[in-house]
Amino acid sequence: MDSHGKTHQKEQQDDVISPKPVTLSKYSNRVELKTLLERSDGGARLAGKRVVIGGWVKSSRAVKKDSPPPPPPPPSSVTVPPPSTSKSNVSCTEIIQSKMSIFRKLFDVLSGGGKTTYPIFDKPEVTGGQKATSPPEYIIYFLISDGSSVCSLQVVVDSTMSSIPATQLMSLGTCIVAEGVLRQPLAASTKHVIELEAEKLLHVGTVDPEKYPLSKKQLPLHLLRDFSHFRPRTTTVGSVTRVHSALTLASHTFFQSNGFQYVQVPVITTTGFGEMFRVTTLSGDETDVKEEKKHDGISIDTVKAAIKEKSRLIDQLKRSDSNREAVVAAVHDLKKTTDLAAELEKKQKPKAVTLIKPDVSKDFFGCDTYLTVSGRLHLESYASALGKVYTFGPRFRADKIDNARHLAEMWNVEAEIAFSELDGAMDCADEFFKFLCKYLLETRHEDMKFISKRVDKTVTTRLGTTASNSLLRFSYTEAITFLQKATTRTFETKPKWGVALTEEHLSYLTDEICKGAVIIIHSYPKEVKPFYTRLNDDKKTVAAFDLVVPKVGVVISGCQNEERFEILDARIKELGSISREKYEWYLDLRRHGTVKHSGISLRMEHMLLFATGLPDIKDAVPFPRSWGKANN
């Protein structure tokens, strides 16, 4: 639970009395910078200790050995240029100036929008034409980060330690493993408490600055995402990853400490709803296709069948968890098909040809299989035996949507609770959500401080307020009333009882009315919620809720599940005959030993957006998968 936070505080207290010894990082022969720098004294009393450290160059600066030492760079991840004095420094600054807009743009992104900071390299003199018999000697001041912490360590290196030219050593992103002695910085003006005087360079992994995207190319935001394999080297993405990591452990800790069992639900499924990805081993070659007689061109019958199917899908979409864009896209698609039908009506008698289609009986599983949309159905079968269960895994949507809140692959934490009704699920969502906020504040103090400095100033306050207060709860009907009262505001979708709340509605309710997270209890018309949601006594609405937060929208959704066989059976029948067969196993859970139960689903990526204030989900996830984009 909060043991990490408490341990951290305790360590800091102990540290005041006698400095914690420096310990090697497990499984790697070096000391993690976190253990040097995240101390109550900033590491001051470690002066004189010999250590090996490793990391990547965040910034660097060199002075000729015969020059007076410059003031070392301040302890941020980027350095501010000092007043130039020497000729070489001037020309270097000129080079840098010409690239300033690129750097500024890049670093605005990477450091979260700071306007006045950018990287500067005081490069050793390399121009001039004349060849020196021995290369000039420099003292290089590096800021090195190893990702264990927000902080960087200043490492002082004599250029003669390496045969690699100083210019190359100094490139942003170079990997350096150095052995040396910790000391208090020589220059009095520095903000560093401690620095490493390197005695040996044990490893150098160079960078080709011409090709390294983080140092050179002028990349707009969306192209920077094409280099997702380099992004964690930026301080912001490093912090976001550590926050993500904490949220993951916190989720497991919360559920297990409350008596839930983790259940591994399948990723490949035979059921689902909405737009799904198909999983197949068929390659389309002659061994795994079957022939179908078909008309040349598109026949009117095919189009009519498509219209019927697409209409059914739209109904299904509306009934499922799909968001509004998906429904709109589907309706738009249907419109195009209807237009095509009208056009075809004018033409006549197409001739027959042979169409070759995949033969699913020859596929790996011998049936149609998809990537899972939700693990809750499978989880229910374990809740109907073990009582309280949860899972954490990837969920997939093939909706052709590309926006800042949607990805094709996202991870959910899902839980199912037997012997529980809607209130139980709401309490669980409420406490889980607050636990996550509290956990971050307690265990990711440095990262949250950095994120609130660079990404979103309100983020720590927001987490603190959320963690320590009861969440507001109101009904869907009340929500509609609030929206209707908003006379100064016009909504694209007019709020009236019966319509699904849109992103715009949710944003108004959380950002402007409640100014914080709320739980909206959906006594919703049953048609707009998934088929497994429990029907209320009025036979028109269902028992569901959403936990909605400002700017992001729904973070947790939950519902009481329909435990009554007849009602569930009727709702599944509405999905069509194929679905009915696929859901037989699910109906079995109500046929035999049915129990009242409810469940929740947390969207991890949306939680991360809430916790960090990042505006786009593609920057929050290590390797985002979206419509038309899968890079590696």
| Contacts of a second copy in 395-454 (CB under 8 A) | 396, 398, 400, 408-409, 411, 417-420, 424-425, 427-428
Which of 232, 350, 464, 525: binder of a second copy (CB under 8 A)? 232
Q: How far is the CB of 397 from a second copy (least distance, A)?
A: 10
Tokens 């070659």 sit at which residue? 285
Q: How far apart are CA 394 and CA 604, in angstroms?
A: 10
What is the per-residue burial (b if ≥16 Cβ within 10 Å, else e) of 263-294?
bebeeebebbbbbbbebbebeeeeebbeeeeb
Does the protein bind a second copy through residue 573 (CB under 8 A)?
Answer: no
Does the protein bind a second copy through residue 627 (CB under 8 A)?
Answer: yes
| Contacts of a second copy in 577-606 (CB under 8 A) | 582, 585-586, 588-589, 591-596, 604
Which of 46, 177, 198, 326: binder of a second copy (CB under 8 A)? 177
Nearer to a second copy, 19 or 358 (CB): 358
| Contacts of a second copy in 93-152 (CB under 8 A) | 146-148
Which of 95, 97, 160, 365: binder of a second copy (CB under 8 A)? 365
Which of 186, 355, 404, 570: binder of a second copy (CB under 8 A)? 355
Does the protein bind a second copy through residue 223 (CB under 8 A)?
Answer: no
| Contacts of a second copy in 298-337 (CB under 8 A) | 298, 302
What is the per-residue burial (b if ≥16 Cβ within 10 Å, else e) of 347-386?
eeebeeeeeeebebeebeeeeebbbbbbbbbbbbbbbbee
Closest Cα partner for 597 from 389, 326, 433? 389
Backbone angles phi, psi at 110, to 5 degrees: -70, -30
Q: How far is the CB of 9 from a second copy (least distance, A)?
A: 17
117: its two tokens: 């900071």
Does the protein bind a second copy through residue 632 (CB under 8 A)?
Answer: yes
In single-letter form, the type of residue at position 579 comes to: S
Q: How far is the CB of 521 from a second copy (least distance, A)?
A: 16
Q: For the packed helices 459-468 and 445-454, what is the interaxial angle rounded to 10 degrees?
A: 130
Q: What angle is formed at CA 479 by the lines to CA 473 and CA 484, rounded to 5 degrees? A: 155
Does the protein bind a second copy through residue 293 (CB under 8 A)?
Answer: no
Does the protein bind a second copy through residue 20 (CB under 8 A)?
Answer: no
Which of 65, 284, 458, 511: binder of a second copy (CB under 8 A)? 284
| Contacts of a second copy in 156-175 (CB under 8 A) | 173-175
CB neighbours of residue 543 within 10 Å:
25
Which of 203, 349, 351, 496: binder of a second copy (CB under 8 A)? 203
Does the protein bind a second copy through residue 265 (CB under 8 A)?
Answer: yes
Which of 179, 277, 525, 615: binder of a second copy (CB under 8 A)? 277
> What Rg value do the Cα atoms of the chain yield, rounded?
30
| Contacts of a second copy in 514-533 (CB under 8 A) | none
SS (H, E, C) 309-336: HHHHHHHHHHHCCCCHHHHHHHHHHHHH
| Contacts of a second copy in 32-61 (CB under 8 A) | 32, 34, 54-57
